[in-house]
Structure 1
Amino acid sequence: YLTLQLLELEANLLVALNKSDISESLGYEIDIKGLSELLGVPVVPTIATIKRGMEELKDAIVETSKRGVKAKVRYREDIENLIERIGEISRRDENLSKKYPVRWMAIKIIEGDEEVMRLVKELGLMEELREVIG
């Protein structure tokens, strides 16, 4: 869940898939490349207790910080359209759109996040958003 939230925040990130030995010992095989492609960010398998994968993780951190890897979570078309419509309203407040990624704000509004809804109400955007959200 945290990874999804960071992706929605358009954070520059990678995933350290720790305890990868446990899944292996249970007979599970994780498609690291496929997971990386699905998430749109580098995924590095690690076993922190024995320091396995730490050099690869360090290299990935350096590379990610240089390239600025930012992924975008894609939802169904109707949700994407709603995100765009809400985003158009959020962009009108320059301070808000500078402080938070517009897409993230739109997703939080759809979720009904209490803090974001309070902020939107304080900015006087609630009525217009209600028309879009329904």
Structure 2
Amino acid sequence: MTSTPDDIRRDGFGRHARFHTLIAEIDSSFAGMCLYFPIYSTWRGQPGAYVQDLFVNKDFRGLRIGERLLRHLARAVRDQGGGYIELQVDAGNVRAQRFYQRIGMERDADHVYQFMGESLTVFAGNQDDEETT
């Protein structure tokens, strides 16, 4: 993990928020969070939400905090005219996969490809590169 609290403050709570966060508290203690951002599907022709992070503090696991956070998000998405929520789970995180299946989420067969860090910088090149190709 390379993000800092300043990164999170700037990008989530600054002038141009890039994500939204639902926070769960129990007796004024942090119990969990759901960090998400709006997305749009041209295939479906409707908006939705992409869950980047769903986290439940180990002291509060087993209390359905994660399910409650996702249910709250589902209601907000529905009430704003959206039709879906997406997220990704690491292949080795069997516990999370079971959780999402238990609450009724469906898994698709899409493979995820990404540019990240240096590979993004290299691929982006500069504008001069594009003008010569």
Larger radius of gyration: 1
Q: Which has the higher contact order (CA 8 A, sep 6+)?
A: 1
| TM-score normalised by the chain length of structure 2 | 0.27
Give 1 or 2: higher strand fraction: 2
Give 1 or 2: higher helix fraction: 1
